[in-house]
Structure 1
Amino acid sequence: MKVLVYSAKDFEVEKLKNANQDKHRMTFVSEALDSTTVTLAAGHEAISIFSGDDASSVVMEMLKELGVKYLTLRSTGYNNVSTIAAKRLGIKVANAPDYSPHAIAEHTICLVLALNRRLLLANKQVKAYNFLLNDLVGSNLNGKTVGIVGTGRIGSLLVKLFHAFGCEVIANDLVVNHYLENQFNVKYMDLHTLCRKADIISIHVPLTQDTHYMFNESLFKLMKKGIVLVNTARGAVVRTKDVLNALRDGSLAGYATDVYETEKGIFFRDNPSGIKDAELKELIALPNVLLTPHQAFVTEEALRNIADTTVYNLNCWEENRPCKNELGYKTQILL
């Protein structure tokens, strides 16, 4: 089938081509999907989009009019897709789940260690031939209490990694993982209690109506003074205005994040003329903030898995067979 790949990045195009093996007629464009670029999909049966693309109800209506029948995401999260509109319009949607929980988990550990041990400042000082240690005092991970919010595949891996560092791990999730309780002595508790007890909190929940701004002023007020917050989930799970206030008044010792509340138009591109987002500029300028550009998923292994899953989804639809990644497919099976 004819497939238009939106938001195609140089580092993923070759992997998508290798996975496709010329089966589907793929066209790659760097533009993100939105109401102004949707017309590019004319004449294509399927499109592939990334997490920053806009597949809202209005855009889905336009896709339907253009004859698009299938939408496959190159991401696990699908908060940028109006699944209600897709179902109403008969557009099938699939994501790329579990492409590499290890990539996200390992990046989370990198963020924690780099922020905690002042690695960026150390590197900057050494490049200026400054070998003083006065501003480089960190603290051990060993013995710290780490709160994992969301113990799905990524969160479960982090339980094991932090446990290996000698941390006490506490957790919050709608579903208790008894294996983690038994094997790693994880203690589940409500979010407020977790915030009061943890020295480090790592977020691993999807962005939904319930988790939007989950971490806000009221939670920050409950936290220990000097806590470190880590976010490799979705930007809007944390209210930027409130995290900035907590950083300014010293409630938070540090914030390490791979995501940002309003990434669209800024992330995944070079901005040589600068940016206008005042809150993002302040985050970047703060010495106790470590922000990476949504790169946690960018490993060779993860990119290959995403490409393979994308082509698998397309193959299933073209061959009219069940697609295990299709949103709602598991529900259909249960019904």
Structure 2
Amino acid sequence: MKVAVFSTKPYDRKFLDQANTHHEIVYFDTRLEPKTASLAADFPAVCVFVNDNVGAETLQVLAEQGTRLVALRCTGFNNVDLETAFQLGIKVVRVEAYSPYSVAEHTVGLILMLNRKLYRAYNRVRDDNFTLDGLLGFDLHGCSVGILGTGKIGLIFAQIMAGFGCQLLGYDVYPNPEFAAIAQARYVDLPELFAQADIISLHCPLLPETHNIINAETISQMKDGVMLINTSRGKLVDTQAVIKGIRSGKVGYFGIDVYEEEDELFFADWSDRIIQDDTFQLLQSFPNVVITSHQAFFTKNALNNIFSTTIASISDFERGNPLKHELTL
């Protein structure tokens, strides 16, 4: 079956070619959006990533051209208008799980980077500066870590932090018995989590009820100097509210692998151009902020799982088999 793959990078081609068995795959470097959807004419399937625009207008163009399957090579699907896809008879599949360890471990990396100022220490030593002023951190042992979302990634993150000797405060509308079974873990309501946690890490999906769950009001409930970490979805966080919190000292550390307005920035090289996003530029200027570019998922293990699952879904669609990873309303 012919498959149009959008937003492709060299690593996408490598791992997808390895996973592919017999499909005719055509790669497009450009993002999928209404003005590029015509590239998928006569392709029964398209394969997209987190920053592709699979809204109503794009889906309408795809449907008129004969596309009947949208295969997301990611877990998140907030960039897809599922209702429109359903109305147009387009099936949507995703990768429900690839390597929850990759994201959980990256989250811990951000915490250590911020706490022990590893980014600053690395640059100092490269400049032959071996002083310790400004590098003071704190023991993670004994800290309270608030975890919003205790699914697969949140659970693994909790298990890692338990190994550091942290106390774990969890919040999830669907409590996970495996989280509750961790000796130093307990579920609390959000106000208690915000008030008690020294570190708060987001591992929940982006839904209408979680949009900007970190905002001026919730930040005001937090400890002074709290560490905020987001490796989930950018729009869980009101960035302007966090900036105000950083300036006031309420937010002592901010580590993110995702960003509210990342669509036009991430997965591209801007080193020779001027970034026009003043909010992002301001974030970069703070010494207590660490930003990575949506790379938490990016391990060999995860990519192998992502593309093998994606190809399996495309093959099932071609053969008329049930779609194990189909998104429904």
Give the TM-score, by structure 2 length.
0.98
- Are the aligned partners of 1:160 and 1:184 in contact in 2 as well (CA < 8 Å)? no
- Aligned to 1:242, the other structure's residue is in SS state helix
Unaligned runs of 5+ in 1: none
User: 2:285 is matched with which residue?
Assistant: 285
User: 2:58 is matched with which residue?
Assistant: 59
Distance 1:184 1:318 in 2: 47
Instruction: Within 5 Å, give how 1:102-121 maps onto structure 2.
Output: 102-121=101-120
User: 2:315 is matched with which residue?
Assistant: 315
Q: Which residue identity is paired with 2:90?
A: I
- Are the aligned partners of 1:118 and 1:138 in contact in 2 as well (CA < 8 Å)? yes
Q: Which residue identity is paired with 2:241?
A: D
Distance 1:176 1:27 in 2: 42
1:178 paired to 2:177: yes
Q: What do the CA deviations read for 1:141-183 (whole angstroms, capped 9, x no partner)?
A: 0010000000000000011000000000011000122332233
Distance 2:32 2:154 in 1: 30
Q: Give the count of matched residue pairs.
A: 328
Q: What do the CA deviations read for 1:228-258 (whole angstroms, capped 9, x no partner)?
A: 0000000010001101100011101010000
Q: Which residue identity is paired with 1:3?
A: V
Greater shift in the superposed pair: 176-185 or 315-324: 176-185
CA shift for structure 1 position 326 = 0.7
**Percent identity, aligned pairs only?**
39
User: 2:38 is matched with which residue?
Assistant: 39
CA shift for structure 1 position 121 = 0.5
CA shift for structure 1 position 208 = 1.1
Q: Which residue identity is paired with 1:303?
A: L
Instruction: Within 5 Å, give how 1:1-335 maps onto structure 2.
Output: 1-21=1-21, 23-271=22-270, 272-328=272-328
- Aligned to 2:168, the other structure's residue is in SS state strand
Give the TM-score, by structure 1 length.
0.97
Distance 1:183 1:60 in 2: 44
Q: Which residue identity is paired with 2:59?
A: M
- Are the aligned partners of 2:231 and 2:256 in contact in 1 as well (CA < 8 Å)? yes
- Are the aligned partners of 1:159 and 1:184 in contact in 2 as well (CA < 8 Å)? no
Distance 1:107 1:274 in 2: 28
- Are the aligned partners of 2:219 and 2:250 in contact in 1 as well (CA < 8 Å)? yes
Q: What do the CA deviations read for 1:49-77 (whole angstroms, capped 9, x no partner)?
A: 00000000111111100110000001000
CA shift for structure 1 position 274 = 2.2
Unaligned runs of 5+ in 2: none
- Are the aligned partners of 2:155 and 2:178 in contact in 1 as well (CA < 8 Å)? no
CA shift for structure 1 position 12 = 1.7
Q: What do the CA deviations read for 1:6-55 (whole angstroms, capped 9, x no partner)?
A: 0011112111011103x110000110000110000001000000000000
- Are the aligned partners of 2:47 and 2:72 in contact in 1 as well (CA < 8 Å)? yes
- Aligned to 2:211, the other structure's residue is in SS state coil
Q: What do the CA deviations read for 1:82-115 (whole angstroms, capped 9, x no partner)?
A: 0000111100000011111000000000000011
- Aligned to 2:158, the other structure's residue is in SS state helix
